[in-house]
Amino acid sequence: MSEDLLKVCHVNKTFPIKGGMFSKSNGVVHAVDDVSFTIHKGETFGLVGESGCGKSTLSRTILQLIPADSGEVIFEGKDLRKLSKNDLRKERRYMRMIFQKPFDSLNPRQTVRDIIGTPIRIHEKCSAEEREKQILQLMERVGLPSAYIDRYPHEFSGGQRQRIGIARALAMRPKLIVCDEPVSALDVSIQAQILSLLKALQREDKLTYLFISHNLSVVNHMSDRIAVMYLGSIMETAEATELYHNPLHPYTQALLSAIPDPSVPDKPNRIILQGDIPSPVNVPQGCRFCTRCWKATERCSKERPPFYHLKDGHAVACFLYEKEGDVQ
């Protein structure tokens, strides 16, 4: 059993909605609602969900870019929320992020040298030559020609910019890298290259990834374990292959049935969800998914199902599995 690198416990984050200067708060958006999961060292933990389900907010809460309302984020045994500013800054060295938009994630006024070099400069005291050596090494690892070290982001293609972002994330040998939709903004052919690069780097440096995407096939390809998120809550967690072949939560089943499969001309059992996603403001009182679930009962709209842990690390938040699993 590999040790836990990151443990997220009952994290909550809400955003108030303001109605204007003279009116009071109109309600809150439950972006992250009682989320808990664990990431083991060296694995890729996938987080999949529709746009707006709170994945990005969750990732930023974990990295302490947005303060969570409550809960714990335990990184290598330390609760990040309780650390002092200086201690947190030291820990930041080991947690990095790769962003979705290749251009917005790079400072247009900085050269590649500055972009990759800044983390080194912050966390290590070394000479400019030493730093340049490290930068060139990183560029080589991600497949960027060393001649480009003094170029600006706008001189690169999308895929190359993402490589710069990856090189930047690798600086200072991090332990955890949060990949927030790293290939969603790229062409499909480039996507494959970047994904294999990420896998190769993980093998070489024994990295741990939190891989976030709305694309289930990509997540499935990259991850060891996957969590399915809906409207701010985790619906199901399992090993990747187990989730793919044996989805338990109705939402996961619907997601999987929608994956286009070229080998099957007309996919049978395609589940089309009725209804719209409820707004994150007016969350259903019971299970988040009950308004669209074709297996919903009366109980589902009143009570929130807890997380039932079944065998082999498979866990579901659905009353259908009440008898089979234990609540922990």
Q: Which is nearer to another protein, 161 or 314 (CB)?
A: 161
Which of 13, 55, 96, 288 touches another protein by CB under 8 A?
96
Measure CA 185 to chain center.
15
The answer to whether residue 325 forms part of the interface with another protein (CB under 8 A) is no
Which amino acid does the sequence have at 91?
A: E
Compute the Cα dihedral for 136, 142, 143, 149 and give only its sign. Answer: negative
- The number of residues that bind another protein (CB under 8 A) is 29
How are strands ordered across the β-sheet holding 308-309?
Answer: 95-98, 176-180, 208-213, 44-49, 225-230, 233-239, 315-316, 308-309, 326-327
Residue 188 CB, nearest distance to another protein (Å)?
Answer: 22
Which of 109, 203, 270, 311 touches another protein by CB under 8 A?
109
The helix/strand/coil state of 153 is helix
Residue 77 CB, nearest distance to another protein (Å)?
Answer: 20
The answer to whether residue 281 forms part of the interface with another protein (CB under 8 A) is no
Q: How far apart are CA 164 and CA 312, in angstroms?
A: 38
Residue 94 CB, nearest distance to another protein (Å)?
Answer: 10
Span near another protein by CB under 8 A; candidates 24-32, 73-81, 107-115, 257-265: 107-115
Nearest in space to 231 (alpha carbons), one of 39, 45, 32:
32
The helix/strand/coil state of 87 is helix
Start-end of H helices in 73-175? 85-91, 112-123, 128-142, 158-170
The answer to whether residue 108 forms part of the interface with another protein (CB under 8 A) is yes
The answer to whether residue 63 forms part of the interface with another protein (CB under 8 A) is yes
Helix-helix angle 188-205:128-142, to 10 degrees: 120
Q: Which is nearer to another protein, 36 or 110 (CB)?
A: 110
The helix/strand/coil state of 77 is coil
Q: How far apart are CA 141 and CA 86, in angstroms?
A: 31
The answer to whether residue 81 forms part of the interface with another protein (CB under 8 A) is no
Which of 10, 17, 26, 65 touches another protein by CB under 8 A?
65
Interacting residues with another protein between 199 and 218 (CB under 8 A): none
Q: How far apart are CA 326 and CA 311, in angstroms?
A: 10
Which of 37, 99, 308, 319 touches another protein by CB under 8 A?
99
Interacting residues with another protein between 119 and 178 (CB under 8 A): 119, 122-123, 168
The helix/strand/coil state of 182 is coil
Measure CA 144 to chain center.
25
Q: Which is nearer to another protein, 32 or 216 (CB)?
A: 32
The answer to whether residue 25 forms part of the interface with another protein (CB under 8 A) is no
Which of 12, 38, 111, 118 touches another protein by CB under 8 A?
118
Give the angle 311-314-319 at the CA atoms, nearest 5°.
Answer: 95
Span near another protein by CB under 8 A; candidates 26-34, 86-94, 190-198, 285-293: 86-94
Residues within the interface to another protein (CB under 8 A): 20-23, 60, 63, 65, 88-90, 92-93, 95-97, 99-101, 104-109, 118-119, 122-123, 168
